[in-house]
Structure 1
Amino acid sequence: MRTAWIDCSAGASGDMLLGAFISAGADLDYINTAVAAVDPSLSVTVTPTARHQIAATKATVQVNGTPHPENVPAEQVLGHDGGTGHGHEDGGAGHGHAHGHGHDGGAGHGHHAGAEQAAGADGGAGHGHGHGGEAGHGHGHGPTRAWAEVRRLLEEAPLDDVVRERALDTFGRLARAEGAAHGVEPDTVHFHEVGALDAIADIVGVAAASVSLGLDRVVVSTIALGGGGQVRGQHGGIPIPGPAVLHLVTEAAAPVTGGAAPYEMTTPTGAALLTMLADEFGPLPPMRIEQTGVGAGGRDPVEVPNVLRVVIGESTATSATELVYETNVDDLDPRIWPQVLARLMEAGAADAWLTPILMKKGRPAHTLSVLVGSAKAEQVRAVILAETSAIGLREFAIRKHAADREFSTVEVDGQSIHVKIARYGGQVVNVQPEYDDVAAAATALNRPVKTVLAKAIAAGHDLWS
């Protein structure tokens, strides 16, 4: 089982995760194809850097070939009487979002910056999102996007299905967290910071990177959240840890700690990505290590090296790492089952299926079986008991062995069809077109599905090598 362990002892943000995955071997071309599919102006570049003399990779979002303001490296930040400087998502020397100039040109911004660093020179306020103080002025808030708009962008983009699902899952978590923080329904949430182009690129990029690495299991360490004062957000001061971050880790039952630094260490985007990726939480699991990656944050504080690490290898655990839940149901309207299976997959099940059986007294029934990692087990149990007529279920642990997976694309009469490639022991063992793409192509071409499927299989012949 190809396992990744994510070390969040210095916190997490979207660019830190993206840099760590790329450092560990994720395909940058595949990531950029996915990012550009959502918005053609976006791309991701990487540069080597160091934090506390630890070599790391800095991922930077580019908009039309220019570094997005929120990703200018922290070492370019100037303070008193200086020019503008930006650091990704948190403060210290580098400051957060859309900048506002302080007095004498001292650049200070606020969101995800320590409150004491949010002021410009001579007390001129340089707040988050350009709310200028008496001595300064600002540039405006930057993009805001409704959850419905972000969802539409992701649903309509030509992404691999699993990349789309992970990106939608991440933004859905953010919508629920922001809704809870502001006391509104998730569908009414307008993203400010996390809806900006760089956050969309971070989230889609991390989703694509995780697919590129072919991970079967992700274990996330205890997450350092930070603490201390407040940051400046779109709506004013936000205590650290922020309400959205607390909601995200509470929903996922993730273990957390304040950490060693008195500022925000884990951003909402970072928390949403970690909880989306996590199959379970804990220390480095038993494995034979194959790759490691180190991603750098935008600042270089004195308290801790501002890096996130990922360790990837083959699991050597002797205990089971997956769970199967089963229950026999003989009194549920069969028309409900498709919705039940869909809800189970949304809750994090790796697979769910029905087996027809004959119960006592000759009653026809079904056995519902669900495969799930331990991190999503509670959510799956809740769906089974809420959505079916079952009043109990069986649990047993198993071990799963999976081939490494990657994706490619073939063309059938002008229609693009994604193809899943499976490797085991370094050898290609299966090449299979994605059925939903085949069906869509058949509809577009007005041809039988079996004909398009045969052509897609033939077009993928060279991928066996």
Structure 2
Amino acid sequence: MRILYVDCSLAGISGDMMLSALINLGAKIDLEKLSESIVESLDGVEWLEVSYGIESKMGFQAGLLKVAYSDSKDHRRGCELKDGLEKTLKLMDASHRVKAYAVKVLETLLNAESVIHGESVEEVHLHEVGSPDTLVDVVGTALALDNLGLFEDVKVYGSPVSVGFGFIKTEHGRLTVPAPATLEILKSKGYPFKGGPVEGELATPTGVALLVNIVDEVTQMPPLIEPVKVGYGAGFKELPETPNVLRLIYGEQRTQYIQEDVYVLETNMDDVQGEVLGHVIEKLIENGAKDACIIPATCKKSRPGQILKVILDCENLNRIVDIIFRETGTLGIRLAKTSRFIVPREFKTINVQINGMDFPVKVKVAKDLEGRIIRVKPEYEELRKISDITGIPIRELSSIIEERAKTYLTS
């Protein structure tokens, strides 16, 4: 499986850093044609020049995108920017994948600005976001991702984004970091961020809009990856003791199984009734836990007790923690983040003949990423029904159906 890891944990992300990093990774796009298309598409832009070069950031050689332009407008409405995007995409002969991504990114930006300013998406007044370099970043990044084949058959991971801290000057006055539009985009997509590591604005609205619309999974640590290429995109600022670069790592995950990040919750209990524990397990599963179990344990003062162990994803963390506290009365829960390998699974219905009778049986089929069957398991309720009809014990039925299902699925 192909992997792209967007590492914005050090110096955040901006639109020009993302595009620079993709070009540094090997993307080929016509920057001159892109400039000409934007000038033709966006009313008020008199000229626009986009260039790419290599710059050293504290010893790191990174791609740097430079954008210069003359614009007679100091702001634009949302509808003007949308119209400019559509015309630019048409002039660039963009593929449907490029169009879909670019439109989604701009919608994310405009929706955030609309929420912040209390205006419709069409009429919202855009200052920084309304400039032509926004289209350079959005369309250029979409074209670069497509050129590298990163819209299909690839899993994109992203780190939590560093946003910096302190204050910034904008058309709306002095604001705290992260900027309101940046924060709104992160909030709307549930994308995690962290302050620091240096003062100033490290994550821009355009940068995070590009980020949240390409990342499939956020991870605190890089995924298991065999790196093939690394791309660095530089920002213009010189940061104290920190290279101002965005890093993209492209490679492959040479495993037959899926890797995912999960949280593991544990709590010790020695005074909870068995009926309550059974209810808790059911409720945890109903509310999004991936798995939950009870482990016998010896607790304080040599009392017999149990360990409740739950596996879950980040999305359900707060809800699951709340359920454990309220339902068990425990006073503390341990939390650990880890990775696990899982086998993809699906349900199939096959016809099986037993004692001269045909039965449709629903089976769970687990296959690795190379298509090899790891396990076939009939559903219990299906086995019970067939057992009631044929008189064959469930244990024997399970073995019979597993073998016949494997034969059918591999033929």
The normalised TM-score by structure 2 is 0.57
Q: Which runs of 5 or more structure 1 residues have no equivalent in the other structure?
A: 62-66, 70-97, 99-139, 323-373, 378-394, 402-465
- Residue of structure 2 in register with 1:371 after alignment: none
**Does residue 209 of the first structure (1) align with residue 144 of the second (2)?**
yes
Pairing 1:228-243 to 2, within 5 Å after superposition: 228=166, 230-243=167-180
Pairing 1:342-421 to 2, within 5 Å after superposition: none
User: Quick one: structure 1 residues 281 and 398, their matched pair in 2 at CA, closer, same or farther if it must change by over 3 Å?
Assistant: farther
**Does residue 153 of the first structure (1) align with residue 159 of the second (2)?**
no
CA apart distance, 1:301: 1.5
User: Quick one: structure 1 residues 151 and 266, their matched pair in 2 at CA, closer, same or farther if it must change by over 3 Å?
Assistant: same
CA apart distance, 1:225: 0.7
Moved more, 214-223 or 182-191: 182-191
- Residue of structure 2 in register with 1:218 after alignment: 156
Pairing 1:40-439 to 2, within 5 Å after superposition: 40=40, 41-61=47-67, 67-68=68-69, 142-157=73-88, 158=90, 159-215=94-150, 216-228=154-166, 230-282=167-219, 283-320=221-258
User: Quick one: structure 1 residues 28 and 156, their matched pair in 2 at CA, closer, same or farther if it must change by over 3 Å?
Assistant: closer
- Residue of structure 1 in register with 2:19 after alignment: 18
Within 2, Cα distance between the matches of 1:375 and 1:21? 29
User: Does the 8 Å CA contact 1:18/1:205 hold for their aligned counterparts?
Assistant: yes
SS in 2 for 1:48: strand
**Does residue 27 of the first structure (1) align with residue 28 of the second (2)?**
yes
User: Does the 8 Å CA contact 2:256/2:369 hold for their aligned counterparts?
Assistant: no
Within 1, Cα distance between the matches of 2:216 and 2:102? 16
User: Quick one: structure 1 residues 219 and 237, their matched pair in 2 at CA, closer, same or farther if it must change by over 3 Å?
Assistant: same
- Residue of structure 2 in register with 1:39 after alignment: 39
User: Does the 8 Å CA contact 2:164/2:198 hold for their aligned counterparts?
Assistant: yes
User: Does the 8 Å CA contact 2:4/2:251 hold for their aligned counterparts?
Assistant: yes
User: Does the 8 Å CA contact 1:14/1:199 hold for their aligned counterparts?
Assistant: yes
- What is the identity, as a one-letter code, of the residue corresponding to 2:178? P
User: Does the 8 Å CA contact 1:35/1:204 hold for their aligned counterparts?
Assistant: no
- What is the identity, as a one-letter code, of the residue corresponding to 1:55? Q
SS in 1 for 2:20: helix
User: Quick one: structure 1 residues 147 and 290, their matched pair in 2 at CA, closer, same or farther if it must change by over 3 Å?
Assistant: same
User: Quick one: structure 1 residues 176 and 55, their matched pair in 2 at CA, closer, same or farther if it must change by over 3 Å?
Assistant: same
Q: Percentage identity across aligned positions?
A: 33
Q: Deviations over 1:58-115 (max 9, x none)?
A: 0112xxxxx348xxxxxxxxxxxxxxxxxxxxxxxxxxxx9xxxxxxxxxxxxxxxxx
CA apart distance, 1:46: 1.1
CA apart distance, 1:276: 1.3
- What is the identity, as a one-letter code, of the residue corresponding to 1:53? G
SS in 1 for 2:165: coil
User: Quick one: structure 1 residues 398 and 231, their matched pair in 2 at CA, closer, same or farther if it must change by over 3 Å?
Assistant: farther
Within 1, Cα distance between the matches of 2:17 and 2:257? 31
Within 2, Cα distance between the matches of 1:155 and 1:43? 20
Within 1, Cα distance between the matches of 2:369 and 2:76? 40
Q: Which structure dedicates a bigger proportion of its chain to strand?
A: 2
User: Does the 8 Å CA contact 1:5/1:284 hold for their aligned counterparts?
Assistant: yes
Within 2, Cα distance between the matches of 1:177 and 1:399? 40
Within 2, Cα distance between the matches of 1:32 and 1:276? 26
CA apart distance, 1:35: 5.3
RMSD: 2.9
- What is the identity, as a one-letter code, of the residue corresponding to 2:3? T
User: Does the 8 Å CA contact 2:75/2:127 hold for their aligned counterparts?
Assistant: yes
User: Does the 8 Å CA contact 1:285/1:317 hold for their aligned counterparts?
Assistant: no
Bigger CA radius of gyration: 2
- Residue of structure 2 in register with 1:5 after alignment: 5
CA apart distance, 1:310: 0.3
Q: Deviations over 1:294-332 (max 9, x none)?
A: 01100112141100010001223544379xxxxxxxxxx
Within 1, Cα distance between the matches of 2:190 and 2:26? 29
User: Does the 8 Å CA contact 2:138/2:210 hold for their aligned counterparts?
Assistant: yes
User: Quick one: structure 1 residues 317 and 294, their matched pair in 2 at CA, closer, same or farther if it must change by over 3 Å?
Assistant: same
CA apart distance, 1:399: 7.5
Q: Detail structure 1 runs of 4+ shifted over 2 Å in the superposition.
A: 31-44, 153-157, 183-188, 315-322, 374-377, 395-401
CA apart distance, 1:275: 0.7
User: Does the 8 Å CA contact 1:232/1:238 hold for their aligned counterparts?
Assistant: yes
Within 1, Cα distance between the matches of 2:159 and 2:110? 24
User: Does the 8 Å CA contact 1:19/1:46 hold for their aligned counterparts?
Assistant: yes
Q: Which runs of 5 or more structure 2 residues have no equivalent in the other structure?
A: 41-46, 261-312, 317-344, 347-365, 371-411
Within 2, Cα distance between the matches of 1:163 and 1:37? 15
- What is the identity, as a one-letter code, of the residue corresponding to 2:39? D
